[in-house]
């Protein structure tokens, strides 16, 4: 995941997206980044003007929050601040150093108490970050029994990581999501993608690079958006699978440029937002970020699909009402939208 602010280098996010790489407009400022804790294996800042040592190290503590246990930070040497976070320097060349976050906080608890600052954060859910202000505290890692244990559970190496039930599921971290339901979801998506290949012949032609799922669930696409108030907060699971994603409120604009996604998948999105905001604005936002010759796959109950189709017809977009992979008698239908040149 790459993110950068709108500044003199504003085209860099656009360039990344046009190469088919996940990227968003964003910056380190007041609010926490829209990613769960323990998300990234490596964090790096290029040509970085972030004042890392200001505000009691607030911004580096946010990097610490999103780094996985044992994850790496590559940046200019920040001896005092990195040491206060219990990071260990493992390499250095000139002004650049590589620091490693500890795999757990067992050895760090007494050290932070002795330093008196920073302290551990006391919030109950380190993944609840939507419009949440940063605090000058260290996000605690899940407790472990032994110094060699990896907090939160060790991850499989890629690509095995993708199809193995991740630690957040195996530990029962999210109520209602089990190893069994994870495996069932994988099988469901194999069935769905096979069906999409029939109704959208160009799906595997290489035409679609940037693909977004607006309600990602357990994840399958390139950019996986999880509504911040979804029934299950699954974004941490997605990152443990090695996928990329972000929190979102689809009543607001998505942090990207116009014409940046080739394919948008919306599963149950309009049922979720029907009573939250005018779905016309959601459709206009989808059209804004969709590339010319792109496509949208909308899955929902037939009653919702009919309402959405009426709006899309008024927008003068080409669309087809199709049966889902459940068959003609299943109440879930698909609306396939084509964005012509």
| pLDDT tens per residue, range 12-37 | 888 888 888 899 998 888 999 999 99
Determine the average pLDDT of the residues in 204-220.
92
Residues 133 and 168 in one domain: no
Are 111 and 170 part of one and the same domain? no
- Same domain for 180 and 303? yes
Residue 144: inside a domain = no
Same domain as 333, residue 184: yes
223 & 282 share domain:
yes
Tell me whether residue 173 is in a domain. yes
Q: Is pLDDT at 201 greater than 80 in this prediction?
A: yes
Residue 116: the pLDDT is: 64
Average pLDDT, the chain: 92
How far apart (Å, rounded) are the C-alpha atoms in residues 179 and 249?
Answer: 28
* pLDDT at residue 341 is higher than 80: no
Does residue 56 lie within any of the structural domains?
Answer: yes
Q: Got the DSSP string for 6-46?
A: SSTTTHHHHHHHHTT--EEE--SSSBPPSS-SS-EEEEE-S
Q: Please calculate the CA angle 317-319-320 and round it to the nearest 5 degrees.
A: 170
* Averaged pLDDT for residues 6-11: 67
pLDDT tens sequence across 88-112: 999 998 888 999 999 999 988 877 7
Which of the listed residues 106, 138, 170 is the one where a domain comes to its end?
A: 138
Task: Read off the pLDDT of each residue in 166-171 and give the average, rounded to a whole number.
Answer: 95
Are both 123 and 167 inside the same structural domain? no
Q: What is the arithmetic mean of pLDDT over 201-211?
A: 89
Domain assignment present for residue 167? The answer is: yes
What is the SS3 assignment for 88?
Answer: strand
**Host domain of residue 46:** 31-138
Question: Could you count the other beta carbons within 10 Å of the beta carbon of residue 270?
Answer: 24
Radius of gyration (C-alpha) of the chain in whole angstroms? 21
Q: Distance (Å, rounded) from C-alpha 194 to C-alpha 197?
A: 5
Number of domains the chain is built from: 2
Kindly report the pTM of this predicted structure. Answer: 0.92
**DSSP readout, 297-311?**
EEEEEHHHHHHHHHH
Can you give the CATH number for the domain in which 185 is found? 3.40.50.150
Q: What does the pLDDT average to over 31-52?
A: 91
Rounded to 5°, the CA angle 129-98-243 comes to 45
């Amino acid at each position: 995941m790459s993110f950068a602010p709108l500044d003199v280098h504003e085209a860099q996010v656009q360039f990344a997206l046009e190469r088919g790489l996940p990227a968003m407009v964003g910056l380190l400022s007041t609010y926490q980044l829209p990613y769960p804790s323990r998300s990234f294996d490596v964090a790096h800042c290029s040509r970085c003007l972030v004042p890392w040592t200001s505000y009691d190290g607030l911004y580096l503590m946010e990097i610490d929050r999103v780094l996985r246990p044992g994850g790496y930070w590559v940046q200019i040497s920040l001896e005092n601040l990195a040491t206060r976070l219990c990071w260990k320097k493992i390499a250095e060349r000139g002004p650049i150093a590589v620091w490693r976050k500890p795999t757990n906080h067992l050895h760090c608890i007494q050290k932070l108490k002795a330093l008196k600052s920073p302290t551990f954060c006391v919030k109950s859910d380190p993944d609840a970050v939507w419009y949440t202000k940063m605090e000058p505290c260290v996000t605690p890692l899940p407790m472990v029994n032994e110094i060699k244990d990896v907090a939160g559970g060790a991850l499989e190496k890629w690509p095995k990581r993708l199809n193995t039930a991740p630690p957040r599921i195996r530990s029962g971290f999210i109520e209602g999501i089990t190893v069994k339901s994870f495996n069932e979801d994988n099988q469901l998506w194999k069935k769905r993608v096979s069906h999409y290949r029939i109704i959208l012949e160009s799906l595997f032609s290489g035409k679609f690079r940037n693909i977004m799922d607006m309600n990602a669930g357990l994840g399958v696409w390139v950019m996986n958006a999880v509504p911040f108030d979804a029934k299950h907060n699954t974004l941490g699971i997605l990152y443990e699978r090695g996928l990329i994603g972000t929190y979102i409120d689809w009543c607001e604009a998505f942090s990207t440029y116009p014409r940046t996604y080739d394919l948008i998948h919306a599963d149950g999105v309009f049922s979720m937002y029907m009573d939250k905001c005018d779905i016309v604005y959601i459709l206009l936002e989808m059209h804004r970020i969709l590339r010319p010759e792109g496509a949208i796959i909308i899955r929902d109950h037939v009653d919702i699909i009919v309402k959405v189709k009426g709006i899309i017809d008024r927008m003068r977009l080409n669309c087809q009402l199709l049966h889902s992979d459940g068959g003609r008698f299943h109440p879930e239908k698909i609306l396939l939208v084509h964005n012509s040149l």
